[in-house]
Amino acid sequence: MRKKAKSGARVARNVIAVAAVVFCLIVIGRITGILVDWLWFGSIGYGSVFWTAFWAKLLVFAAVFAASAAAIAVSGWVAHYYARPVDAMQVIDASEDAPPDLAELASRIAPRVPWRLGIAGAAVLIGLFIAASKVSNWDIALRFLHQVPYGARDPIFAKDIGFYLFSLPVFIAIKNWLLQLLFFCTLVAAAVYALRGDIEFGPAPRWLSPAAAAHASALLGGFFALKAWSYVLDRYLLLYRDNGVVVGASYTDIHVELPVLWLLIGVAMAAAVASWVNMHRRGWRIPAASAVALFGGSFVLTVIYPALFERFYVKPSELQLEAPYIAHNIELTRLAYGLNKIEVKPFPAEEGLNVASLDANRATIDNIRLWDVQPLMSTYAQLQEIRTYYKFFSVDIDRYRLASGYRQVMLSARELAPSLLPESAQTWVNLHLLFTHGNGVVMSPVTEKSAEGLPSLYLQDIPPVATGGPVISEPRLYFGQGEQGYVIVKGSTPEFDYPKGKDNVYTSYGGRDGVAIGGIARRTLFAWQLDDPNILLTGYITSESRILLHRNIQDRVLTIAPFLTLDRDPYIVASAGRLYWIQDAYTTSRWFPYSKPGLADGSNTIRNSVKVVIDAYNGTVDFYVSDPADPILRTYQRIFPSLFKPLDEMPPDLQQHIRYPEDLFLIQAQLYRAYHMDAPEVFYNREDLWQFPRELAGIDDGNAAAGAPMTPYYTIMRLPGESKAEFVLMLPMVPSQRENMIAWLAARCDPPGYGKLVVYSFPKEKLVFGPFQIEARIQQNTEISQQISLWNQMGSRVIRGHLLVVPIENSILYVSPLYLRASSGQLPELKRVIAAYGDRVVMEETLSQALAALFKETAPAAGAPSGRAPGPAGAANVQARDALDHYNRALERLKAGDWSGFGAELDALKQSLEALAGGHGGQGQP
């Protein structure tokens, strides 16, 4: 027996030693992580943000730990004090065939165990566990302490909505913590009583000592009191229910559930008092009766009774009874998502377009987007990635004021992707010291193409060459969208800048970012934190070296402001010779009453309150307030007064590139499908439910009959009633289960109208073709379908571009690009443009030719870079373009092996040149 005891003691000591080592490693890891974060926040100028969050986390941890450990220790010590005393001299022999029960085991170990110290140790460990699990609530704690009023009230309890956004989450968190704490207090007390023999778990008769019974009654009374408070909070949680008809409190909730909750509050408080009284009586009947009354009554009154009431009273008169609550849901959902600010305007959908109206809307025509994101990204990759270790992660759509006018362009940053280096080249030096940054952007207009069907490039190559685009003097991207690890700059080895022929050009980082890492202490710190001993062992680090962390821009922003929700599409901007990323950020919450959840995480309110600008070279991050009226953001401004800047402080050139975020627009459009109906009766019957139209985009392989929902798209256009063209984000709408278009929703992106949403509604008595109906007409056009089938049979694949709905004045024009790609190739070429208007559908080589064919006019040459319709140019210019057109077509026929077509184009070229040489006027033929 003594050998077994010694062996058990040895195992216990080993377990304690291992646990101590693990605990120390965890503590060291936490400390080093805090030190690294402190250094990094200080390096980017947000040290005050770090300390605010740090002290909030520390105070939450300390408060929860102190209260939890104290409560658990008191519960354990009370149990120890009142438990049955153990005879320290009692010795019980137990054989292996008759193991000791808990009381016998306690009698053996009691002389050797300091009970108070053991209970304190258990309280500390459990307190640490509870506190660690509650640290994440530092955010809601600060919001509670610095909250601002919302300025609107809920319709049931007449409380300011700020109560639900800022106070209710804290009360719920405190309630859950107290229930968890009560559980552990009970667990520790039960363990003490069991070890001291006050609880017998064996076969009947089971036994509970008077002290244990009194303690259990006290804890049970605390539980009933917490349940009473829980029912108080449950009254407010009625505003978040969803019964399929009403999101929020319904008729049954208000007329049945709410009175029942008041009744349960009274029953719970009575049960708590009865349990505390039972501390003196120490019987089991009062606690049992209290539990049966509360939980039995809760089941009957909150489950059975409301279900019967709903089925037999509400359902037969549902619309009449639920109408006021549907109205609450509509009103507050529209408020939560900003749908109440959408302006509705009529759109007559006339068919009065002609050449003159096209000329009057030249800015719209010249910016119709013919390049889709995926084909253009493939083309960029083939033409402009230059080396295998460069990658275009996304294509962004923006607008610039260039020499050619106000132009919509597409651009993509050429970022470094170290994972694309050859495996043999993925050394530590290459990954962290040599290959540190990307270089430049590619930019092309949305409408133009070359004679070969490739995009015209305004910015290209390394270093960037500007051909119509903005000049970039600092093209290096140390911060971007890729999965970028840390790099060390200003080392003894130069950084790779870009390839140049057979040689490479090298550089040294001269930006402002980075944490100094030259000293041995900091090298040790970062080697430990990043789990990379090479930082400590390498000889390339000098006294001037710095380490760049959080180089993924979204990770960078969320590390600084984790309380913001980010748009999925940050976009690159070229401004004043530098490159910047603009990241839209949202404030969200799941606690807006009566509002329908519309976000993937269950949030039911959202505002685009912050525009974040990240310098791609310096790594500086600036947070600009774009919605100063947002109560959630105003609360965060109180918490972090040095974090946010007014939007007016953003450089004016960058302000020109602010755009309405697509994620927010998509959420609002999704909800507006139903919530444009503001009459409860119409909403209940879903009489006017909208949906997104379908389109056929992608490879035209005959399997796309079902189509895919159309996505929002940016365009430059002159809105009806406005004096000039502007950058807008728009999306058509069609009725539910129908394909005809009923409206289109637009978000304005340019000042002074930025952020305004407008719905242009079509007359309900008039048929306006929707995108999928136009797609069907395109497929039914024999010439177009035959040409597509022919291309697909000749070793090429046809890629159908997105169908764009282009409102012009009071009419609708439809445009869709068509691309060709070799079956084994990855270089799509823009070969045709399909246009539709009224009952006509045409397909031509260029947009100008398609519009000319559509409106019975003559178009400029296929090689013309823009989509302009013919203007009053001189005859010589027209004939020269016509000659170039025939020359380009001759080359295409020659490449295709079409000798007869090649000869015909040469003959036509000869005639054009003769006409040009002879000075004869006339219009070139398309």
The residues near 305 (Cβ < 8 Å, ≥ 6 apart) are 256, 260
User: Which of 201-205, 237-241, 578-582, 773-777 bottoms out in mean pLDDT, i.e. has the lowest?
Assistant: 201-205
User: Which of 336-340, 448-452, 557-561, 574-578 bottoms out in mean pLDDT, i.e. has the lowest?
Assistant: 448-452
Which pLDDT score is estimated for 19?
A: 66
Strand, helix or coil for residue 778: helix
Which pLDDT score is estimated for 10?
A: 63
Q: Is residue 622 over pLDDT 90?
A: yes
Which pLDDT score is estimated for 916?
A: 66
- Quick check: 817 and 843 in contact, CB under 8 A? no
User: How sure is the predictor about 925, in pLDDT bands with cuts at 50, 70 and 90?
Assistant: very low
Which pLDDT score is estimated for 702?
A: 43
- Quick check: 641 and 625 in contact, CB under 8 A? no
346-400: per-residue pLDDT in tens? 999 888 898 889 999 999 999 999 999 999 999 999 999 989 999 999 999 999 9
Report, as an integer, the average pLDDT of 398-423: 93
Which pLDDT score is estimated for 879?
A: 60
CB atoms within 10 A of CB 444: 26
- Quick check: 912 and 879 in contact, CB under 8 A? yes
Considering only residues 82 and 181, tell me which one the structure prediction assigns the higher pLDDT. 181
Strands (E) located in 791-886: 796-800, 804-808, 811-822, 829-837, 840-844
Report for 282-296, 349-363, 538-552: range of highest mean pLDDT: 538-552
Report, as an integer, the average pLDDT of 470-499: 94
* Span between the terminal Cα atoms of the chain, in Å: 106
Report, as an integer, the average pLDDT of 695-704: 60
How far apart CA 28 and CA 86 sit, in angstroms, is 42
Mean per-residue pLDDT over the chain, rounded:
88
User: How sure is the predictor about 90, in pLDDT bands with cuts at 50, 70 and 90?
Assistant: very low
**Structure tokens that stand for 481 in this block:** 């969208």
Which pLDDT score is estimated for 85?
A: 60
Q: Is residue 861 over pLDDT 70?
A: no
Which pLDDT score is estimated for 793?
A: 80
How far apart CA 573 and CA 578 sit, in angstroms, is 8
- Quick check: 162 and 631 in contact, CB under 8 A? yes
Nearest to 197 by CA among 73, 110, 99, 93: 110
- Quick check: 52 and 548 in contact, CB under 8 A? no
How far apart CA 155 and CA 229 sit, in angstroms, is 22
Strands (E) located in 591-725: 605-615, 621-625, 644-646, 690-691, 694-695, 698-699, 708-709, 713-717
CB atoms within 10 A of CB 622: 18
Considering only residues 481 and 97, tell me which one the structure prediction assigns the higher pLDDT. 481
How far apart CA 172 and CA 176 sit, in angstroms, is 6
Which pLDDT score is estimated for 764?
A: 84
User: How sure is the predictor about 16, in pLDDT bands with cuts at 50, 70 and 90?
Assistant: low
User: CA 454, 459, 464, 468 torsion: positive or negative?
Assistant: positive
CB atoms within 10 A of CB 843: 21
How far apart CA 724 and CA 751 sit, in angstroms, is 12
Report, as an integer, the average pLDDT of 68-91: 75
Nearest to 246 by CA among 682, 588, 683: 683
Which pLDDT score is estimated for 871?
A: 42
| Length of the chain, in residues | 926
**Structure tokens that stand for 474 in this block:** 């600092």
For 33, which DSSP code? H
- Domain map (residue ranges) of the chain: 69-208, 234-337, 340-365+688-855, 368-477, 565-658, 872-926
pTM here is 0.87
How far apart CA 291 and CA 407 sit, in angstroms, is 72
**Structure tokens that stand for 451 in this block:** 């004679």
Report, as an integer, the average pLDDT of 794-817: 91
Q: Is residue 9 over pLDDT 60?
A: no
Which pLDDT score is estimated for 438?
A: 95
User: Which of 198-212, 414-428, 878-892 bottoms out in mean pLDDT, i.e. has the lowest?
Assistant: 878-892
Report, as an integer, the average pLDDT of 259-266: 97
How far apart CA 763 and CA 838 sit, in angstroms, is 16
Q: Is residue 54 over pLDDT 80?
A: yes
The rounded percent of the chain whose pLDDT value lies above 90 is 71
CB atoms within 10 A of CB 27: 10
Report, as an integer, the average pLDDT of 488-496: 94
User: Which of 456-465, 536-545, 763-772 bottoms out in mean pLDDT, i.e. has the lowest?
Assistant: 763-772
Which pLDDT score is estimated for 265?
A: 97
Q: Is residue 261 over pLDDT 80?
A: yes
Considering only residues 498 and 765, tell me which one the structure prediction assigns the higher pLDDT. 498
312-353: per-residue pLDDT in tens? 999 999 999 999 999 999 999 999 999 999 999 999 988 889
User: Which of 407-416, 519-528, 793-802 bottoms out in mean pLDDT, i.e. has the lowest?
Assistant: 793-802
Q: Is residue 193 over pLDDT 90?
A: no
Which pLDDT score is estimated for 894?
A: 55
Which pLDDT score is estimated for 882?
A: 66
876-902: per-residue pLDDT in tens? 555 666 676 666 666 665 555 555 556
